[in-house]
Amino acid sequence: MLRFVIARLLGTLPVLVLLSIGVFLMLHLTPGDPVQIMLGQDADPQSIAALRAELGLDQPLPIQYLRWAGNVLHADLGRSIRTHQPVTEAIVSRLPVTIELSLISLLLSLLIGLPAGVLAATRRNTALDLASTGLALAGVSVPSFFLGILLILVFALWLRWLPPSGYTPLLQDPRLNLAQMCLPAIALGAALAGIVARLTRSSLLDVLGADYMRTARAKGLSEAATVLRHGLKNALLPVVTVTGLQVGTLLGGAILVETIFALPGIGRLAVDSIFARDFPIVQGVVLFLALVRVLANLVADLLYGQLDPRIARG
């Protein structure tokens, strides 16, 4: 097991290097000068040149990248161009908000998607199946930012049931925190709930007619016990795969959702840094999100062994 984990982590290093190069080049080749943004349009050329030299932006791009990559190897992501705050500190300070939003969205999508998929598979071609499939398709089709705007319009402005935006720490006021996180979590988790429901239905339909399912029924097990104890465990393999892949997508989708609902998370930090051309912050956020996606895929692979002993032996 340890050898497998180490091999997977080593295999992701080239991906992270290529991703960092791509992000570095895209940021530095896009129009806009962070020094000009910081000093304003009326700044004199001497001040601009001095600040560029201080920040190291006057060096060739390969030198800038190698210097940044060398610092990353020493766990130093640099400092923000705007605030001079260490990038690691900026990410860590925003991390609890994004983690809370992602976990609530993931939990919500599983609590909705798994039962909906099981009911749709066991009630195939019924009104319940059609309703579940239709809702799943709607969840996948509607973009998170558009769904977020609709949720604010209906539940915050028209019905006035929930606050439209803002964030209160969980320990400070748990009730207000959950109320503020409700709409963002629905907007972010709706797509994953639809994916989980459709995949659970499709995968469960493939195993309902298997030999071991007929054997379980012949032994006298009820249909519910047969489906939940024998069928669902094997049907969850592709669901685990997609869920692991979607963890990174949740964090990426949080960029728009946090902006819409004014949540002070990593996504909002990335958006503000992109507009300010704060290269170190954006590079650090992208690298962090890529690392989280890699670790989520690794956890999904490890869960395979718990769901299917044949994979563990292999």
Q: Please tell me the predicted confidence (pLDDT) of residue 313.
A: 47
Q: Is residue 91 part of a domain?
A: no
Q: Please tell me the predicted confidence (pLDDT) of residue 304.
A: 64
Q: Are residues 56 and 146 in the same domain?
A: no
Q: Are residues 100 and 68 in the same domain?
A: no
Which residues are paired to 79 by β-bridges? 86
Q: Are residues 155 and 295 in the same domain?
A: yes
Q: Are residues 122 and 260 in the same domain?
A: yes
Each of the 314 residues of the chain gets a pLDDT tens digit; together they read 667 667 777 777 787 788 788 877 877 777 767 777 777 767 778 887 887 787 777 788 888 888 888 888 887 888 888 888 898 999 999 989 998 998 999 999 999 998 998 888 888 888 888 888 888 888 888 888 899 999 999 999 999 899 998 899 988 999 999 999 999 999 999 988 999 998 888 888 888 777 677 777 777 777 777 777 767 777 777 787 777 777 777 777 788 898 899 899 888 888 888 887 788 888 888 888 888 877 777 776 776 666 565 555 44
Domain that holds residue 43: 2-73
Q: Are residues 107 and 65 in the same domain?
A: no
Q: Are residues 49 and 148 in the same domain?
A: no
Mark which of 42, 73, 104 sits at the end of a domain. 73
DSSP output for 246-314? HHHHHHHHHHHHHHHTT--SHHHHHHHHHHTT-HHHHHHHHHHHHHHHHHHHHHHHHHHHHH-HHHHH-
Q: Are residues 59 and 185 in the same domain?
A: no
Q: Which of 247, 230, 254, 262 is nearest to 294 (CA)?
A: 247
Q: Give the CATH number, domain containing residue 309.
A: 1.10.3720.10
How many Å apart are CA 268 and CA 295, to the nearest integer? 23
Q: Is residue 115 part of a domain?
A: yes
> What is the model's pTM?
0.81
Which residues are paired to 272 by β-bridges? none
How many domains are contained in the chain?
A: 2
Q: Are residues 123 and 265 in the same domain?
A: yes
Side chain identity, residue 141 = S
Q: Is residue 81 part of a domain?
A: no
